[in-house]
Amino acid sequence: MERRNLPTFGGNVWNPFREIARIENELNKLIGEVMPVMKQVPAEVQVWAPRVDVYEKDNNIVVEAEIPGAKKENIEVKIKDNAVIIKGEVKREEEKKEENYYRSERFYGTFERVIPLPVEVKAEEAKAEIKDGILKLTIPKATAEKEVKVTIE
């Protein structure tokens, strides 16, 4: 039987399965940053983060958050340190027995999301509305970029 030299890195024999596991961990981390967070916490409470779109329109920054089933009295929106903080709770309308369920995929429970803003904004002039499960926050930009001619003396 012929013995081949296996590739080594730092004195260790290269293991393709270890490399696949490392890549899987990195992908899970990346997906965790992009997708809504959902984790089990004590007392069977679900915590999740709504999906958002952030874009610029008419010299405003617009943040749209997907919060199906949320009522405006159960949502809190703050702007602090040039970031939007959205938190609240989506409550079940009625108690349903779990044993009769075939599938339950809707999000219930508390949610929280911190969205860093790409530019400075006028937080005191922000406006928010909720319609069809979408929270829309419109925040004027602090300063519009202007071209200023400077005279040389």
All domains of the chain in start order, with CATH: 12-95+102-140 (2.60.40.790)
Q: List the one residue out of 84, 25, 73, 96 whose CA is nearest residue 49.
A: 84
Angle at 82 between CA 78 and CA 129, to 5 degrees: 40
Q: Are strands 75-80 and 83-90 parallel, antiparallel or unpaired?
A: antiparallel
- Taking alpha carbons only, the member of 77, 63, 62, 64 closest to residue 111 is 77
List the chain pLDDT tens, one digit each, 153 residues.
555 665 555 566 667 777 888 888 788 777 766 655 544 444 445 568 899 999 999 999 999 999 998 899 999 999 998 899 999 998 876 656 666 767 767 777 888 999 999 999 999 999 999 999 999 999 999 875 666 677 777
